[in-house]
Amino acid sequence: MDYNLDSIDWKILTILQSNAAIANIDLAEQVCLSPSPCSRRVKNLERLGFINRRVTLIDPQRAGLPVTVFVQVTLHHQIKKDLDRFATQVTQWPEVMECYLMTGDFDYLMRVVTPDLQAYQTFLDEKLTAVEGVEHIKSSFSLKPICYKTELPLGHMV
């Protein structure tokens, strides 16, 4: 189904990205709608798939997960069976926050969080290196985050 969002829809999405817990009445006021039409628009945006889910972002440091590792993984063969096997495994590991199939010098780029270096070593030993077809792993440890965003830059749509 094709549906063209208008500027109010894009404003709703922009606001919800930064505060998913905003009360509908406050959201409606910010986009100059009454509460009922605003609620209908939010439900429509969910139904259309613009809003996948609403989450609460937790500070990794306070949650005891201060170690962030960016991991480049190269598979022995880039055949569908191996790619599918790796993708299936990765989605089951809670330490993996993000994983992307890449072009270039390696096949996957992952962001992994752990409580300490020993936990990362255990992750490598018991999970990542145990996947059949993994040929090369390169780990880069983050010293500190400089920029971390969850909001998409929707300014071009408003």
Q: What is the mean pLDDT of residues 71-92?
A: 94
3-state DSSP assignment of residue 116:
coil
Please, where in the chain does CATH 3.30.70.920 lie? 67-141
Please, where in the chain does CATH 1.10.10.10 lie? 7-47
Q: What is the mean pLDDT of residues 17-34?
A: 97
Helix (H) or strand (E) holding 134: strand 134-141
Fold of 67-141: Alpha-Beta Plaits (3.30.70)
C-alpha dihedral, 22 to 25 to 26 to 28, nearest 10°: 110
The class that CATH gives domain 7-47 is: mainly alpha
What is the average pLDDT value for the chain, to the nearest integer? 95
| pLDDT at residue 83, as a whole number | 93
- Identify which has the larger pLDDT, 124 or 156: 124
Q: What gap in Å lies between CA 8 and CA 30, rounded to an integer?
A: 10
98: pLDDT strictly greater than 90: yes
Residue 27 C-alpha from the chain's centroid: 24
Q: What gap in Å lies between CA 7 and CA 2, rounded to an integer?
A: 16
- Identify which has the larger pLDDT, 92 or 78: 92
2: pLDDT strictly greater than 80: no
Instruction: Mark 10-20 as b/e (b = at least 16 C-beta within 10 Å).
Output: bbbbbebeeee
| pLDDT at residue 158, as a whole number | 67
Q: What are phi and psi of 157, to 5 degrees?
A: -100, -20
